[in-house]
Amino acid sequence: MRIGYGWDSHAFKSGVPLKIGGLTLDHPEGLAGHSDGDVLLHAITDALLGAVAAGDIGSFFPPGDPRWKNANSAIFLATALEEIRHAGYTIANVDTTLVLAAPKIGPIAEKLRESVATLLHLEPRDVSIKAKTPEGLDQDHVAIAHAVVLLEKLDRSDQPAQMAVAVDSQASIEEVVRNLLGESTAQPARKPAFDTEDIT
């Protein structure tokens, strides 16, 4: 299993829609950013990429690249999903925290969970979205998102098994082949690397 952590922040800006978690929220200001400013999807994207050591969102989608001007952040998330699948992992669960003064996230938390779960191809029960206010942090005009993801190895049980065995000096290739074929063989006695009667 692997763990990834992501963090992002955007300042509020008038004249743009507010996008969080793939939803457009009713609010007089949106979030400034080269893309659509979806702070939650950006944090989750970075967490996914970080979990498989694939870089960060900026290395895939540089903010100076005009192709990503006002881009839907779901594109970034889909790219991160491809990276973790390519690395042989799938998502076990996602835990996130939004830090912002407004709008209130509590009343729409369930809709956000469903939206993010759909984008990640998960069940809502595997996605947690919490919200805090930036009390005492002087960040009332900023939205911040933290995300943690847990990945687990993909189940390869439905694919043909590959023979990958290690043969050491005490086991011959013939013996390994017999073991793979289910034939019983006596295991050679292994001499311990140290005297097990004296471990002082």
> Nearest-CA neighbor of 31 among 12, 44, 15?
12
**CB-based contact 133:61 (threshold 8 Å):** no
Please give the C-alpha separations between residue 76 and each of 58, 62, 89, 119, in angstroms, as whole numbers.
Answer: 10, 11, 18, 11
- DSSP H/E element including 33: none
Residue 64 in domain: yes
Residue 149 in domain: yes
Please give the C-alpha separations between residue 58 and each of 1, 35, 191, in angstroms, as whole numbers.
Answer: 25, 11, 53
Please report the pLDDT score of residue 185 as a whole number.
43
Please report the pLDDT score of residue 140 as a whole number.
78
Residue 181 in domain: no
Q: How far apart are CA 46 and CA 149, in angstroms?
A: 10
Residue 92 in domain: yes
Q: What do you get for the CA distance between the two ends of the chain, in Å?
A: 36
Residue 191 in domain: no
Please report the pLDDT score of residue 86 as a whole number.
94
Please report the pLDDT score of residue 80 as a whole number.
95
* Residue 105 domain boundaries: 2-153
> Nearest-CA neighbor of 20 among 153, 129, 182, 176?
129
Residue 14 in domain: yes
Please report the pLDDT score of residue 81 as a whole number.
96
Q: How far apart are CA 86 and CA 78, in angstroms?
A: 12
**Tens digit of pLDDT per residue, the chain (200 long)?**
999 999 999 999 998 999 999 999 999 998 988 889 999 999 999 999 999 999 999 888 888 888 888 889 999 999 999 999 999 999 999 999 999 999 999 999 999 999 999 999 999 999 999 999 988 777 778 999 999 999 999 876 544 444 444 444 444 545 644 555 555 444 444 444 434 344 43
Residue 176 in domain: no
Full-prediction pTM beyond 0.85? no
Please report the pLDDT score of residue 138 as a whole number.
74
Residue 33 in domain: yes
Which residues have C-beta within 8 Å of that of residue 121, sequence separation ≥ 6?
81
* Tokens 């991160």, located at residue: 80
The CATH number that applies at residue 148 is 3.30.1330.50
Number of independent structural domains in the chain? 1
Please report the pLDDT score of residue 65 as a whole number.
84
Beta bridge partners of residue 54, listed in sequence order:
none
Please report the pLDDT score of residue 160 as a whole number.
45
Please report the pLDDT score of residue 179 as a whole number.
56
Please report the pLDDT score of residue 174 as a whole number.
56
